[in-house]
Each structure stands twice: as C-alpha cells, then as structure tokens.
Amino acid sequence: MQTFKLDNREVGVGCPTYVIAEIGFNHEGNVDLGIEMIRAAAASGADAVKFQTYKADGLTVTSNPHFDLIKHGELDLDAHKRLVAAAQDAKVTFFSTPFGVDMVELLEKVGVPAYKIASMDLDNQPLLEAVGKTGKPIILSTGMGTLGEIERAVQLLEATGNRQIMLLHCVSEYPPAPEKANLRTIEQIRAAFPAYSVGYSDHILGNAAAVAAVALGAVAIEKHFTTDKSLSGPDHAISADPKDLSEMVRDIRIIEAALGRPCADLSRPDRPSALNMRRGLHAAHDIAEGTVITADMIKIIRPITDLKPTDIGLVVGRKAKKTLKAEEAITLDVI
C-alpha cells in the first residue's frame, strides 16, 4: 500500500509530504512542556507530533548510566490523555513510539491512529507483532538495518495482516555528518519494497537534507523538535526549534511545487515563450536578387521566423529570388 489513511489524512506516494515533529522525550516528563511543544509544532506547520512511550526498566538495565535520564521522561496514562487532548485542540495528529508490548496496550487506551517503530526495534518480533495486530498504520524506521533485516520486519508485520506500512530511511547517529546521510538509500529502499512508500527520519543539523530527501521522493519527514535548543536534555541541541521547523515546512512545500510533473512536450508551461525568445534566419546585410547565399550572409537573431537556425542548410547555396534588405527575414519563398 503506497498510501494509507492516517487520522483521516491520506499519506504516501502522490500526497503532500507528511511532516512529523519528533518531540520524543524532549518534554523530560513535564506534561506542560510537552503541551507547549505540541502547540508550537502545530503552529510551525507540522502534520503530526510524535512522542515516545516506555517504562525505563522495560527499555534498559537499571545499571545503565542513562537509566535515570530515561526514567525522567516516562509518561503515564493520564499524561498521554492530556497530550492527546492538547494535540486535538491544536489540530495536529498525535502518535507515539511504543518501546514494549505493554506500551502498545497503553497507547490503544488513548486511541492513537498510528504507530512508529524505532530503528532499535527493527528486529523486535514481539513488538512488531503487537503493533501489526492493531491494524493501524505503521511507520517503520530502518536505521542500522540491512535490506534483509528490513525485509524480515516487513514480513513480520505483513504476517499480522497489516500492510499499512511506511518505511523511513534513517541514520541512527545524533547527529550524523552530512556525508553519512546517504539519502539515495531512499531510492534503494523504494526499489526493494515497491509496495510501500518511503520517508526519511532526519537527524542532520539544519534543513537541507530533509528538503533534498523530498526531492528524492520521500513522502514523509520526521524531525526532532524542541521549543528551546538550550534545554538540558540530550536531544534538544540536535532538534529543530519552531523557526527551524517553520522554514523546513516552507521549503518542503516549495520543493513539492517545483517538482511538478514531466513536461518536456508541447504542454510545458514555458512553450509559448519560444515565440518571443527563439531566433530566426535574417539577412546579415543587403543581398541582391540572384546572389548565391553563403553562411556569412545569414544572421541568426530574433524574432523567430519560419526557418529556424537548424534550417540553415536549406538556405546556404540557394539564390535570392529578390533583393533582401539587412535583417529582413529569410523564408523559403524568397530563395
């Protein structure tokens, strides 16, 4: 399925680029801050806001140096309900990345319209199956994955009867150097999985890579988002702020319009300009009647005439039937 309905919005090939503001856990467990970010993302032109739904002890061992930081970003059911309500008020779609089967159950309670699978869980069979069985659209990030691993994940989702899948090219570094983006992987994934649309999860600083991805055919762009890059959490510095996101959305819409359609035919919009801008064959100087015309007697200038510059071979070596004045058009009836 190259398109599917996500919260009553058609998403995929041939549709406007779907822009996802990845708030993740930039809220750091502060629901009010999360709501502020939702409103800011909506005002900046995002189509959706995406969070992360997890319990720290279901994600990593308690001895992990980052355990406390991760735990700080946990959101309970009531927090999710408040965030969903805020997204509805802001007229932006809310969904999340579950990091456990139990988190899928929590998200089902708040009625998310879609799910995101993080790159780290590309091979997490129980989670893939649980998300697939919801029957809802799935955005599958492919960071760190080979084509074989992506294929296996897709097969696991398809086995649940769910084919509402979008694949996201992603480089799981924060941030990667631009030369690591390898945006042509979008084309590689699309060729390998022609039944599904392909988007891009962008961790590159700035907006250039995201806009280029759209030009390469990405149908969705996911971008980390914050209201303040100076906040203390680990993802704020690499995230887009409202100004960045607004500019990215603006540039994406310009690129969408500029991509247009194939038009190297008579329907091309600049075709009428040929009458004003193309050149014709004119006398370089006065040419007396009966003169054999040579190339140096011909001036290729505007305006266009019946004989084009490519017709010069039809004129050279012919005689003038009449005297031609300098810059007079040379036509078949005068030679």
Q: How far apart are the C-alpha atoms of 238 and 164, rounded to whole Å?
A: 30
**What is the residue type of 100?**
G
Q: What is the pLDDT of residue 234?
A: 86
Torsion angle of the four alpha carbons 79, 84, 86, 91, in this order, in degrees rounded to the nearest 10: 170
In sequence order, the β-bridge partners of residue 215 are none
* Residue ranges of the chain with per-residue pLDDT less than 50: none
Element (H, E) at 37: helix 31-43
SS (H, E, C) 18-34: EEEEEEECCCCCCHHHH
Predicted pLDDT of residue 1: 76
pLDDT at residue 25, rounded to an integer: 92
Q: Are 240 and 202 in contact (CB under 8 A)?
A: no
Region class of 217: left (phi > 0), else alpha (psi between -120 and 50), else beta: left
Q: Considering only the top CATH level, what class is 3-259?
A: alpha beta
Contact indicator for 49, 18 with CB cutoff of 8 Å: no
CA distance 40 to 27: 13
Domain 271-334 fold: Type Iii Antifreeze Protein Isoform Hplc 12 (3.90.1210)
Nearest to 119 by CA among 191, 231, 222: 222
Pseudo-torsion of CA 176, 178, 183, 184, nearest 10°?
A: -120
Residue spans in the chain of domains classed CATH 3.90.1210.10 = 271-334
The set of residues, in sequence order, having a beta carbon less than 8 Å from that of 1 and lying 6+ positions away, is 12, 163, 164, 165, 195, 196
Q: Is 260 helix (H, G, I), strand (E, B) or coil?
A: coil
Reported in sequence order, the residue ranges of the chain that DSSP labels E, i.e. its strands, are: 3-6, 9-12, 18-24, 48-53, 93-98, 115-117, 138-141, 165-170, 197-202, 220-224, 280-283, 298-301
β-strands 9-12, 3-6: how paired?
antiparallel
Alpha-carbon distance 279 to 304, whole Å? 4
Structure confidence at residue 222 (pLDDT):
98
pTM recorded for the entire structure: 0.90
Secondary structure class of 48 (helix, strand, coil): strand
What is the predicted pLDDT for the residue at 105?
98
Q: What is the pLDDT of residues 258-311, one digit of tens each?
A: 999 999 999 999 999 999 999 999 999 999 999 999 999 999 999 999 999 999
pLDDT at residue 260, as a whole number? 92
pLDDT at residue 232 in the model: 84
Task: Report residue 33: phi and psi, to 5°.
Answer: -65, -40
Q: Could you give the CA distance from residue 256 to residue 3 in angstroms, rounded to a whole number?
A: 17
Reduced to 3 states (helix: H, G, I; strand: E, B; else coil), residue 267 is coil
Residue 264, both tokens: 């190297």
Which residues face 52 on adjacent strands?
97
